[in-house]
Amino acid sequence: MQVISSKENELIKHIKKLKDKKERDLSNEYIIEGIKLIQEAIQEKAKIKQIIICEECEKAEAIPKEIMYEIARYECIYITKKLYNYLTEVKTPQGILAVIEKESNEKNIDYTQEIIVALDGIQDPGNLGTILRTVDSIGLTQILVSKDTADSYNPKVVRSTMGAIFRVKVIECEDLEKTLKEIKKHKFEIVVTSLQTKNSIYDIDYNKKVIVIGNEANGVQEKIQQLADKKVKIPMLGKTESLNASVATGIILYEYVRQKLK
């Protein structure tokens, strides 16, 4: 078994570069790390290019044997612990990562879903990852993101999704305003979150709606607010005026779930 130990190895240099969006876009690949994510990737039949294993972690049996059996049918590359630590961005790595080919950049929107979530300039990778996970949790299979939203394949986003990245199609919109106008032609109503309204998220019926979540600092941009059929806010009893974007998204989406179950 050959073990790579040099930073100058071409594959190692490529993996290191994949932390940058430009390289991810160019190669159409991204990195996942950790036992759980790799199990999810296998289960969801993601396009796994290579699996990188820390030689010393395997010898110490830090990676369960059943996982080693599962990954045996893929191209596995062994590297030294020192080199693995050079590649990882995780504080306590499990010694296994993989290079994944992105799904096709298919832009077609599924209009059969009752609601569509659109993100307008979400910047924090943790927020984006949590929103993707929440969208997945309620059975949605797509999400729209504006061009200036954080990259969905950023390693921190991928970790935060806990596997949802393999199940939710991320549709990047070159012009979110134009995309929303097109969606309205399919009898969907645009719902935006805004503090400039008395309407509550509990006052509307969540059917054929596009829920637009705005930037953490500035909210939904004005031109998209003008497109909105409804503006809503989350009623709060305390002094806090606004919530974290991912928390707000969760509250709104689970009002949809409550209505659906009812």
Q: Which domains occur in the chain, in start order?
A: 3-101 (3.30.1330.30), 115-261 (3.40.1280.10)
Lowest mean pLDDT: which of 21-30, 49-58, 135-144, 236-245?
Answer: 236-245
Mean pLDDT of the chain: 93
170: enclosing H helix or E strand: strand 169-173
Question: Once rounded to an integer, what is the mean pLDDT over residues 199-222?
Answer: 93
Does the pLDDT of residue 58 top 70, yes or no? no
Please state the pTM of the whole predicted model. 0.91
Does the pLDDT of residue 34 top 90, yes or no? yes
Q: Edge-to-edge, what's the strand order for the sheet holding 47-54?
A: 3-4, 76-79, 47-54, 96-101, 29-33
pLDDT in tens, 144-173: 999 999 999 999 999 999 999 999 999 999
Lowest mean pLDDT: which of 51-55, 60-64, 215-219?
Answer: 60-64
User: 3-class SS at 17?
Assistant: helix
Angle between helices 125-137 and 245-261 (to 10 degrees): 10
- Is 79:14 a contact under the CB 8 Å cutoff? no
